[in-house]
Structure formats: C-alpha cells, structure tokens
Structure 1
Amino acid sequence: MTDSRDVTAEDQARHAQKMARIKAARDRMMTTRTGEKGLVIVHTGPGKGKSSSGFGMIMRCIGHGMPCAVVQFIKGNWDTGERRLLETHFPDICQIHVMGEGFTWETQDKRRDIAAAEAAWRKAQELIREPRNRMVLLDEINIAFRYGYLDPVEVVGFLAAEKPEMTHVVLTGRNAPPELIEAADLVSEIAVLKHPFRQGVKAQPGVEF
C-alpha cells in the first residue's frame, strides 16, 4: 500500500492539474443543468435492492421535509422494517399503504390478485394527484404489470396526463415493461452477481425486509 508520505512534489503537481481540469469541465457542465421537474423513476432488473433504493429516496424526501407516500403492490402484510419506521416515526409526512395480498404463488387466486392491484392503483392515483406529495413510491408495481394485473399503457398515460409537474414517481420491480422504460426520465437496472439465497440462506430482517 502506498504511504501518503511517498507522494512527491511532482506527483502532487500532476494530480492538482488533473483535478483542476476535471473540476473546470464539471463546472461548465453544471451551468447547463438548471431545470427542475418531477421525474418518473424506474428501478428494475433481477438484482436485489430495487425496493431498498426506492425507500432510500423516500427517506431523503423525509429528511428534506418533503411530504411523500408509498403504495406497496405485492408484499402483503409483511412486518417490514421500512413499514415499521414510516408508521411509527413519520406518519405526518409519509403515508404508507400496503395493498397487496402477498406474492401470486401464495394467493393462487388471480381474481383476488387483480382486484388488489386495481385497488392499489386507485390509491396510487389519489396520492399522485395530491400536489402536497412530492414523491410517491409504487413498490413492486412492475410485478403487477408482468402478471397482467395492470395495463402499463394506462399507467403511463395517467402519469403523462395527470401527474403534477413537480411530483416524483418511483416504480420498482423486475421486468419493467418497455412502455414504462420509454416514458421514464430515469431508469436503473440492478443486476445480480451473487445472492445468498442461492447458497441456502433465507431472507433475513434488516437485509430483505
């Protein structure tokens, strides 16, 4: 490992010149990024962390004093850490609505799954229309699209027509439909390189829920 005392004056001078060039380029770029708007944000892909990322953005909003809301489409009545946190400590600034009845392989009732997804979407529309909410997280809505419980074209159309100008909407879940990806302002695909479940490790509090 290189000791900081091994940095020569010549090394330091080259480093300072390089960082100065990077800073100048960055400053020029930032002068052209002055617009603000409410974004449609998609977290998708087979890797772990899509919902976690969405909830991280919700916590940022709370930290800035920005009212926000969460609608969970799939997970059902899991006793999750994020739900405990929001309901216990931040009910005045963040609503959380757990609308799903569990994963589709647990319910094994497509009519019930469709009805739950439609109810969740109605609640989501209500929350998105409310200008007070600066961010609305639609957790695992992409799963509802994947199984045909909701029409992505309808959802994209609603966001284009009725989302308030400064409201951010975050949609999570693997297999985001192409219509949503095309309409979104920001799309992140989370890959999987390793997962403990493949080594026989079950879902654990603080990591998965």
Structure 2
Amino acid sequence: MTSPEGTPANKKTAAETAEDVNARHSKKMAKIKTARDKMMAGKEGDKGLLIVHTGPGKGKSSSGFGMILRCIAHEMPCAVVQFIKGSWDTGERRIIEAHFSELCEFHAMGEGFTWETQDRERDVAMAAKGWEKAKELIRDPRNRLVLLDEINIALRYDYLDIAEVVAFLTSEKPPLTHVVMTGRNAKPELIEVADLVTEMTLIKHPFRSGIKAQPGVEF
C-alpha cells in the first residue's frame, strides 16, 4: 500500500511515530532536568556522613571497599578496620597493603567469625582493640573516610557498647570525615543517628545451592 505521494504508508507512519516518541522523551527529560536543577540549587556545603550498610543480602563490605577505592583514586587518605574477618586473606587487603598503604591504613583486628573462636572474652577483647584503633583513625582529620567493616556484628553480640559508639560518632567525629559501618543486624540506635542507611536484601545466594565462598566474589 502506498500513499498518494508514492511513499509507503507504513514507512511514513513509522517515521512520524518515532518523531512523536522523541519529542515526548525530550519534553519529559526537560521537565526532569528543571526539577533536578531546582533541587540541587538548594544543596550546598559538604558534610562527613555516617553510613550504614546492613541487611541479610551480599554486598555490604563490597560497597564499603568500593568507597575506599574511590578515596584512593582521589588521593584522599582513608583507613579500614576489620572487626571479624581478620584471619582471612582477602583480595582487598592484599591490594591495599601492597599498592596503596601510603593512602589507606588497613587494620585487621578480628580473629575469625564468632562461631569459629567460641571464646567470648577473646572476641570482646579483640572488638575493644579494634574500636580503640577505629577511634584513633576517625579522630585524625587527615582521614576523609574510615571503613569499620563488620562492626555491626560486634555490636549485635554486645562485644561493644552501642551507647558509647553512638556517643563517640556523634560528638568526636571530625565534621568532614565519613564513617562507613557494615554488617548484618545494625542496631536501631546506629540507624537512628546515621545519615545514609542501605539494607541489602537477600533474593538468591549461591551458598544455598552448595557453592562455597570464592576469591574475587566473597573475598
């Protein structure tokens, strides 16, 4: 079928439809840009954030180390304190200690997961030692970001006093220092004072299918 001008009718209709779609898209994006520009106009200044990554899903520590990598890329001094995975030979620990130790201090304070040590007094002592190091690093204004990896687990088992942790973070943290805290079951008190809280939701995990933790994915 052809139009009176000799152009196939379906080709002309298709061209007009594409133009209509593009016009609607441009109009929609213009409205979004106007709204975004208006929203951003009201934002000013920088602030050191308290960031919590929690929930049963995978990705809490991975996200934290992603931010550490960003700091390193921007040549911003940063630090890591690991509260639980201290005995693990992790990829992130290898690369930071081997190549970026001048920008990022890495302190592995734990001696394994709590069910491996089966020694509460030892776990409490190691958690306390990790927290003292964390406070030292956070107090240092040169550190723009401090990652407290798996601190939520230490808090969950009451190896650390949540009231003392919250009091320190809200009163002694330098104003431009970011602190990232990872681990399942974040305490409500920590969530309350945090600026950013993300809950990782578990939908599927290979461990449930009999697949063990693997280098490059879990560590």
Q: Given the two structures, how large is their TM-score scaled by the length of structure 1?
A: 0.96
**Secondary structure of the equivalent of 2:80?**
strand
How many angstroms does 1:6 deviate by?
Answer: 9.1
Q: Partner residue of 1:95?
A: 105
Equivalent of residue 140 in structure 2, options 130, 147, 163: 130
Q: Partner residue of 1:151?
A: 161
Matching residue's letter, 1:132: R
Aligned mates of 1:39, 1:157 — CA distance in 2: 15
Equivalent of residue 112 in structure 1, options 119, 122, 132: 122
Q: Partner residue of 1:191?
A: 201
Aligned mates of 1:7, 1:38 — CA distance in 2: 49
Give 4+ residue runs of structure 1 displaced > 4 Å after superposition.
Answer: none
Aligned mates of 1:155, 1:34 — CA distance in 2: 29
How many angstroms does 1:35 deviate by?
Answer: 2.6
Q: Does 1:66 align with 2:76?
A: yes
Larger Rg: 2
Cα distance change on mapping 1:7 and 1:59 into 2, 3 Å: farther
How many angstroms does 1:7 deviate by?
Answer: 6.0
How many angstroms does 1:160 deviate by?
Answer: 1.1
Q: Does 1:207 align with 2:217?
A: yes
Q: Partner residue of 2:8?
A: none
**Secondary structure of the equivalent of 1:8?**
helix
How many angstroms does 1:107 deviate by?
Answer: 0.4
Aligned mates of 1:161, 1:172 — CA distance in 2: 20
Q: Does 1:171 align with 2:181?
A: yes
User: What runs of 5+ residues in structure 1 fail to find an aligned partner?
Assistant: none
Q: Does 1:54 align with 2:64?
A: yes
Cα distance change on mapping 1:108 and 1:29 into 2, 3 Å: same
Cα distance change on mapping 1:192 and 1:6 into 2, 3 Å: farther
How many angstroms does 1:23 deviate by?
Answer: 0.7
Aligned mates of 1:84, 1:64 — CA distance in 2: 20
Aligned residue pairs: how many? Answer: 206
Aligned mates of 1:6, 1:97 — CA distance in 2: 62
Equivalent of residue 14 in structure 1, options 24, 37, 42: 24
Cα distance change on mapping 1:7 and 1:76 into 2, 3 Å: farther
Cα RMSD (Å) of the superposition?
A: 1.3
Aligned mates of 1:159, 1:104 — CA distance in 2: 25
Aligned mates of 1:95, 1:7 — CA distance in 2: 58
Q: Partner residue of 2:6?
A: none
User: What runs of 5+ residues in structure 2 fail to find an aligned partner?
Assistant: 1-14
Matching residue's letter, 1:24: T
Q: Partner residue of 2:10?
A: none
Aligned mates of 2:32, 2:114 — CA distance in 1: 50
1:146-199 deviation line (CA, Å, top 9, x unaligned):
111001111010011110010000000000000000000000000000000000
Matching residue's letter, 1:68: C
Matching residue's letter, 2:57: G
Aligned mates of 1:131, 1:27 — CA distance in 2: 32
Aligned mates of 1:9, 1:118 — CA distance in 2: 65
**Secondary structure of the equivalent of 1:96?**
strand
